[in-house]
Amino acid sequence: MKYKDGSKKPSYNCQVAVDEKEQIIVAADVVNEENDLHQVEPMIQNVKNTLGYKPTIVLADAGYFSYENLEFLQKEGIDAYIPDNFYKAEKEGKTRKFRKSLFKYDEEKDCYYCPAAFEIPFSRIQKRKGEPDLRYYVCSYCSQCVLKNACTESGKRTITRDPREHLMEDMRAKLNTRKRYGKVSEKNVYRRTCVWSNETG
């Protein structure tokens, strides 16, 4: 399996789906992929093969977060709780600069508003191979803003937006409503909840 430093070593990525209520393993798999991004769909299928039905809720860590996975789970009618890679750090205030979530998107005007209430208009589109176009928004007021040092080190703060970004925003809003981060708090409500964890070794 390939590691972050580019080296390859004999290793494995073990995927386990666990029923939250009964605390029993309902599906397992071993793959040689270095991350978990492509394991959501096959694990859902493994659960269906084992139980005869798909889970109604899926809880997973940030390693499983991708727009493709959220779209798949939404299409399957599965209620997912998967934080993005920056959710926890931002929630705990560990980011040095103003995080993107502090910039409010106005869908009707197709612009952002920064923490200082300046409008950040649409600037350009970046074409991406195999991915939806990325939209760029550039602020022109940074030089006169008293919050600049907390926002950007460049002359102008730039915000990018993926057209699927509403999926992440909706997910964050849903996670913020939970009484406990990363876990469904109500007991004995969901019968078919699957949580999965992984180990690499």
Work out whether the CA dihedral 74, 77, 78, 80 comes out positive or negative. Answer: positive
163, 68, 59, 160: CA torsion to nearest 10: -30
pLDDT tens, residue by residue, 96-146: 688 898 999 999 999 999 999 999 999 999 999 999 999 999 999 999 999
| Number of other residues whose CB lies within 10 A of the CB of residue 113 | 16
Predicted confidence (pLDDT) at residue 156 exceeds the cutoff of 50: yes
Residue 49: is its pLDDT beyond 70?
A: yes
In our burial notation (b when 16+ CB lie closer than 10 A, e otherwise), range 83-110 reads bbebbeebbeeeeeebebeebebeeeee
Q: What is the pTM of this model?
A: 0.77
pLDDT of residue 18 exceeding 50, the answer is yes
Confidence of residue 200 (pLDDT cuts 50, 70, 90): very low
Residue boundaries of the structural domains of the chain? 13-83+182-200, 95-163
Provide the mean pLDDT of the chain: 83
Give the strand pairing for 158-161 and 193-200: unpaired
Q: Partners of 13 in the beta sheet?
A: 31, 200
